[in-house]
Amino acid sequence: MVSFKQKFESTNWSTISEKILTAEHRNIELALSRSGSGGLDDFVALLSPLAGKEYLEEMAQLAHRLTIQRFGKVIRLFAPMYLSNECNNICDYCGFSMGNQIPRKTLSLAEILRESSALKKNNFEHVLLVTGESSTKVGVDYLLEAIKTLNDCFANVSMEVQPLSEHDYCKLINAGLHAVLVYQETYDKVSYSKHHKKGKKTNFDWRLDTPDRLGRSGINKIGLGCLYGLTEDWRTDSYFAAMHLDYLEKRYWKTSYSMSFPRIRPYEGEIDPIVDLKDRDLVQLLCAFRIFNHELELSLSTRECPELREQLLPLGITTMSAGSKTNPGGYSVTEDSLEQFTISDERNPKEISRMLSEKGYEPVWKDWDSSYHGKKDNLTGVSFSTNKKVLKSNSISSVC
């Protein structure tokens, strides 16, 4: 089977951009009528400016129905745990970039346990370990120890760290790692090269091949995404993320997948986003991905403001972070100067949980258990509620 790198290199960026920009009414209406079953061709139409301008309400209603049918009215809550802000890369959009003059910190095992205790008090059972990319300070041995320790505290441990080898992923999976988030940041090679100036992250192909290494290692879940604001042509960037997802699902069909939609937030050493992905554009993206893939987990972080996060709930969101801190030790000490970026939704987990309940959603703190791991039928642990009750809404997209 062709690798994704081969598939990627044989797909022309400009050709895809042109298809997106020239999609017609009939293409969009066909995509909506078959609920996205036309695959990437339908996705092209749903990404088009015309769809965003004239069909957003129809897209929103369909995305809402598909989400209720598959996931019910539940939202899984998780918390990121930042273990280190050490980084050997220079990336002009990240607060952890090596060139930024900020205090550096890597949590000790005792400090990790203190963070764990603070998160457990807020009912979290799903934790995402995050670090800068430093193979010396936060290498495989460090991650292995952290995962082994936290597996005794949480039902689910995932991570978002530097890309690793297939062998290293296998070691971490054997220690209890459930999922890995690895965002390409942008699939535009020119833009990628411009923003990644020094370090291992400059290797576009190594990062592009990471989900393949994860798939071969037998990981339970892979998280994909672009960082919106790095590339002017966000629609085409999204197409390549969808193409990547489509390839992975067909090749590693026992693995589940998630997609995130981070937009650049203020940070140390700040640059202005190349393009401002407006709220309405974000709505279109969420709806297009839900219609394209009914099984996909769609995640929304605290980068977005409280009002918008609430308004986006009916459009396909299945996973949200709550009460996030983006600095090492942020849950157990008061220290804001080390954060990777500024969060926008500062509500604590109880407030998020109460908001979800008031809107008719069930906040889920635990939807996976290690007792399922390794069974022959490859249970991936996704056990969302199947509540079929559909919310009535006169105009879902009008909130934007």
| DSSP string for 173-198 | HHTT--EEE---B-S-HHHHHHHEEE
* SS3 state at 84: strand
Tell me which DSSP letter residue 11 carries: S
Tokens 């909506």 found at: 32
- In terms of C-beta density within 10 A (0-12 exposed, 13-18 middle, 19 or more buried), how is residue 38 classed? middle
**Backbone φ and ψ of 311, nearest 5°:** -70, -30
DSSP string of 198-264, one letter each residue: ESGGG-HHHHHTHHHHHHHHT-SEEEEEB-BTS-S-HHHHHHHHHHHHHHHHHHSTTSEEEEE--B-
Across the range 7-15, mean pLDDT stands at: 97
pLDDT at 266: 55
* SS3 state at 348: coil
Tokens 């988030």 found at: 181
Cβ atoms within 10 A of the Cβ of 199, count?
Answer: 17
Q: What spatial distance separates the first Cα and last Cα of the chain, rounded to whole Å?
A: 42
Asked if 76 and 367 count as a contact pair (C-beta separation under 8 A), the reply is yes
Half-sphere exposure of 79 (CA within 13 A, CB side): 32
Residue with more model confidence, 128 or 368: 128
- Residue 212 tokens read as 């393949």
CA 140, CA 135: separation in Å to the nearest integer? 8
pLDDT band at 37 (very low <50, low <70, confident <90, very high): very high
CA 361, CA 354: separation in Å to the nearest integer? 10
CA angle 303, 306, 308 (to 5 degrees): 85
CA angle 239, 242, 243 (to 5 degrees): 85
Fold of 56-399: TIM Barrel (3.20.20)
> pTM for this structure?
0.89
**For residue 25, is pLDDT > 80?**
yes
pLDDT tens, position by position, 256-286: 999 999 988 654 455 666 667 899 999 999 9
pLDDT tens, position by position, 113-155: 999 999 999 999 999 999 999 989 999 999 999 999 999 999 9
Across the range 357-369, mean pLDDT stands at: 87
As a dihedral over the C-alpha atoms of residue 99, residue 100, residue 102, residue 103, rounded to 10 degrees, the angle is -20
Cβ atoms within 10 A of the Cβ of 109, count?
Answer: 11
pLDDT at 101: 82
pLDDT at 375: 39
Across the range 79-88, mean pLDDT stands at: 95
Helices (H) and strands (E) in the chain, counts: 16, 11
Nearest by Cα to 261 from 346, 322, 185: 185
pLDDT band at 339 (very low <50, low <70, confident <90, very high): low
CA 211, CA 69: separation in Å to the nearest integer? 28
CA 242, CA 240: separation in Å to the nearest integer? 5
For the chain, list the strands marked E by DSSP: 74-84, 90-91, 126-131, 156-160, 179-181, 196-198, 221-225, 256-260, 297-300, 319-321, 362-364
How far is Cα of residue 205 from the mean position of the Cα atoms in its chain?
20
Asked if 309 and 345 count as a contact pair (C-beta separation under 8 A), the reply is yes
